[in-house]
Amino acid sequence: MSQNKTHDGKPLITLKDVIKSFGTNEVLKGISMELYSNENLVIIGKSGSGKSVLIKCLVRLVDIDSGSINVLGKSIPDLSQVELDKVRTDVGFLFQGSALYDSMTVGENLQFPLRRHKHRMRGQDEGQLISEALISVGLEHAIDMMPVDLSGGMKRRVALARTLILQPKIILYDEPTSGLDPITSNEIISLILNIQRKYNTASIIITHDMDFVRVVSDRIIIIQDGINYAEGSYANLSKSSDPKIRAFFKERRL
């Protein structure tokens, strides 16, 4: 299990009283939270509780109705598009469906963000960066393969390599083990832990996979009815007598 960390310094992300509605459906009803350096913060909740909406709000893929979001010292709702794009290069986003470009090889998928953000290369060789990113996820042999020829787990690894190639300070994971078999899920879990150690990234992870939560989380936030209902370590929350909290850990009590 990932160990709880002592939080030193300012948080990398701060949300305060964030509200987001879609029509008459109020999904987020005043969420507040913080993410600290080199921390894996896992967010769990029932389907439709707003977990994925929350992380999309962090990089303004979805605009909030009210509240504040500060990422790496920047007020996200107040940024221009140019300023927002700059912040986004420091925040990697691993989408649930991997979102690879089907018409590009694995290498070209990794090359794409480098071409868009040449200033991030800092004089480094493009080919070397692509090779190092693929080595990090154990897929250096797949550089010339097409996405259609990859398994689900390989697609997830390539998407993670593409996220890593810009060396982000923060990574947002949306259901990283969803749809994967148990063996592949365990490989992705190990990979995420290795990446955290190697690159000192901080992560927010959305997941329903409680085995994943147990192994990866430094801290857990449970979203219930649009608010952060509970917060703590896996060890502490799994011992809770609150039935709403126990429901997430019931399989571990058998």
- pLDDT for 8 beyond 80: no
Sequence-ordered list of residues with C-beta below 8 angstroms from that of 184, at least 6 positions apart, any chain: 151, 152, 153, 177
Residue bearing the bigger pLDDT, 55 or 1 = 55
Each residue's pLDDT tens digit, 56-102: 999 999 999 999 999 999 999 999 999 998 898 899 888 776 778 88
Q: Say whether 3 sits in a helix, a strand or coil.
A: coil
The mean pLDDT of 208-234, rounded to a whole number, is: 92
pTM: 0.86
Please tell me the predicted confidence (pLDDT) of residue 253.
Answer: 38
Rounded CA gap, 48 and 226, in Å? Answer: 10
Please tell me the predicted confidence (pLDDT) of residue 112.
Answer: 87
Each residue's pLDDT tens digit, 107-162: 999 998 887 776 665 667 788 889 888 988 888 899 999 999 998 888 888 988 88
